[in-house]
Amino acid sequence: MEQLVGKSIERFDSVDKVTGKALFPGDINFHDQVFVRTLFSPSPHAIIRQVEFTDALKMPGVIAVLTAEDVPLNEYGLITNDQPVLCGPNSSKAYSDRTRFIGDQMRM
């Protein structure tokens, strides 16, 4: 096997990226594509008692609203799964009804 340590290796996509030819996920659209929008917490620490979304479901184009209750395994983390995917009541993860910082995800 060839030694690569200490050698400069050109990435296969480098030219396309710096010239703007490369497509990134945000550049790709499909016909009838569904978009997701996340609601972020405005409070650094709060207990979410309920999530009211009936008005959202009445808006044109809205096909679903997902809350913490809809996430079967509502946890993730870099080293330890200690963060909820979505904050809100009735989650499978204990204390997922609490926001911990401004910007915690509350619903999609």
Kindly tell me if the per-residue pLDDT of 21 is higher than 90: yes
Position 1 scores a pLDDT of: 57
User: How many domains does the chain fold into?
Assistant: 1
Average pLDDT over residues 11-30: 92
79 found inside a domain: yes
36 found inside a domain: yes
Q: Percentage of the chain with pLDDT > 90?
A: 54
Kindly tell me if the per-residue pLDDT of 13 is higher than 60: yes
Q: Domain of 90?
A: 32-108
Q: What confidence tens digit (pLDDT) does each residue in 62-79 have?
A: 999 999 999 998 898 889
51 found inside a domain: yes
Q: Percentage of the chain with pLDDT > 70?
A: 98
24 found inside a domain: no
10 found inside a domain: no
Question: For residue 104, what is the domain's CATH number?
Answer: 3.90.1170.50
Instruction: Map tokens 């990226």 to a residue.
Output: 17
23 found inside a domain: no
